[in-house]
Amino acid sequence: SSSSSSAAPLPPPAASRSTSQNDVHPKLRRDASDFEFGATLGEGSYSTVMAARDKHTGSWYAIKILDKKHIIRHKKVKYVDIEKNTLNRMNHPGIVRLYWTFHDQQQLYFVLDLARNGELLTYIKKVRANSLATPLGAFDLPTTQFYAAEILSAIEHVHEMGVIHRDIKPENILLDENMHIKLTDFGTAKILESLDDGGKDSLTRHRANSWVGTAEYVSPELLNDKSTCKAYASSAIISFLLILKSAAPNQSPTNTNSPAASPHLSTSSDLWALGCIIYQLLTGRPPFKGSNEYLTFEKIKNLQYTFPYGFPDVARDLVSKLLVLDPATRLGAPEQGGIKALKAHAFFEGIDWERLFELPAPKLH
Ligand code: ADE
């Protein structure tokens, strides 16, 4: 946030520029006065997202607004920086695009794609509530295959751009007006050092130390990596102390079954999350869920999950190859032929990877 206004690396797609804009002298820079703000779409602890209409073009966007004082006071400057830098690298139909960033005295603004249909999680819950339609409780197999393919396609692009997302979950998978996905929230992403300047190392490590993600989708190697999981570790310790206070646990709290902590973070953490999401799309619930974070982490580290009766064999085969404790052994890991090998799994048979985002999305029941 050194410049007062920075243009996005690429022009907006033709579809969103089709309204009455001045094509002779297009205004490339934007500030808050260029937008009419509408409904609040979401509120996080460090940001508010609002729908906003570009006064010049009529196009709608989602604008993420961050309060400068709050960001500085809570030492989140590096998170905001990572979010901007990683989003700027992305150019994929399944990932929210960053069009402009600007700031005024009080606030930072990220102008993003508006995903009109909100979070995938909402639809998993909705379909689950109407689950007369499906034997397992959520999406049918073709719908699951479609959304899993879109998510994988987005993940592939993130990794190709030298980034690990690290917080892929149904709340961060938004849906556009055509019910295609838009992956969002790169605030906890990691820029891979080999593809970036070495100077980013201490920066990203610092951010990783205060990272708080979502328990249910975190991979075992992230849980076991002390440098990335201070927040997880402390919340797990608090949960454990609460258990000690209420009832004597009959299990040892020390973790014995987990693999050795991996020295390097790998892209396969995002593939673990994909495995969790495919399971959740079919059943309506994540595979690892304890009554508190400590118990959830124990389940993850012990690979303690089961497939309900009726879980399709082809999905079972795929999920069991993604939910593997050793990140190097996971299907889709660089060591296992990469994402190409994962795309070749029978679960994805019939997927047209090139045209996925142009096809009509399956109807939800
Ligand atoms: N909530 C958070 N980000 C959003 C976006 N880009 N579109 C719609 N709702 C959102």
Residue 139 CA to ligand 1 centre (angstroms): 23
Please give the number of the atom of ligand 1 that sits closest to the Cα of 96. 6
162 lines ligand 1 (CB under 6 A): no
Q: Which of 54, 113, 140, 167 is catalytic?
A: 167
**Quick one: which of 356, 273, 351, 260 has its CA closest to 319?**
273
Residue 298 CA to ligand 1 centre (angstroms): 32
CB 66 within 8 A of CB 46: yes
* The predicted structure's pLDDT at residue 134: 66
* The predicted structure's pLDDT at residue 332: 97
41 lines ligand 1 (CB under 6 A): yes
112 lines ligand 1 (CB under 6 A): yes
Torsion of CA 328, 166, 12, 150, to 10 degrees: 60
Whether 140 is catalytic: no
pTM exceeding the 0.80 threshold for the entire prediction: yes
Nearest residue (by CA) to ligand 1, atom 3, is: 49
Size of the chain, expressed as the number of residues it contains: 365
User: Distance from CA of residue 147 to its chain's centroid?
Assistant: 14
Q: ipTM, 2 decimals?
A: 0.97
CB 163 within 8 A of CB 350: no
175 lines ligand 1 (CB under 6 A): no
127 lines ligand 1 (CB under 6 A): no
Distance separating alpha carbons of residues 176 and 157, to the nearest angstrom = 18
Distance separating alpha carbons of residues 99 and 52, to the nearest angstrom = 13
Please give the number of the atom of ligand 1 that sits closest to the Cα of 42. 1
CB 166 within 8 A of CB 188: yes
CB 322 within 8 A of CB 272: yes
- Positive or negative, the CA dihedral 271, 272, 273, 277 is positive
Q: What are phi and psi of 72, to 5 degrees?
A: -70, -45
65 lines ligand 1 (CB under 6 A): no
User: Distance from CA of residue 153 to its chain's centroid?
Assistant: 13
168 lines ligand 1 (CB under 6 A): no
Alpha carbon distances (Å) from 23 to 14, 60, 210: 12, 18, 45
Angle, CA 209 vertex, CA 181 and CA 189 arms, to 5°:
20
96 lines ligand 1 (CB under 6 A): yes
CB 82 within 8 A of CB 46: no
Which of 98, 180, 184, 185 has most ligand 1 atoms within 8 Å of CB, for mutation? 184
Please give the number of the atom of ligand 1 that sits closest to the Cα of 64. 3
Q: What is the pLDDT along the chain (365 residues), one digit of tens a residue?
A: 333 444 444 444 444 443 344 445 556 889 999 999 999 999 988 999 999 999 999 999 999 999 999 999 999 999 999 999 999 999 999 999 999 999 999 999 999 999 999 999 999 998 887 866 567 878 999 999 999 999 999 999 999 999 999 999 999 999 999 999 999 999 999 999 754 444 344 334 434 444 456 789 999 988 877 555 444 544 554 444 444 434 333 333 333 333 333 445 789 999 999 999 999 999 999 999 999 999 999 999 999 999 999 999 999 999 999 999 999 999 999 999 999 999 999 999 999 999 999 999 999 98
Residue type, 219: S
Q: How many CB atoms lie within 10 A of CB 130?
A: 11
Residue 52 CA to ligand 1 centre (angstroms): 11
Distance separating alpha carbons of residues 99 and 7, to the nearest angstrom = 7
Residues in CB range of 32: below 8 A, 6 or more apart: 102, 104, 107, 109
Residue 271 CA to ligand 1 centre (angstroms): 23
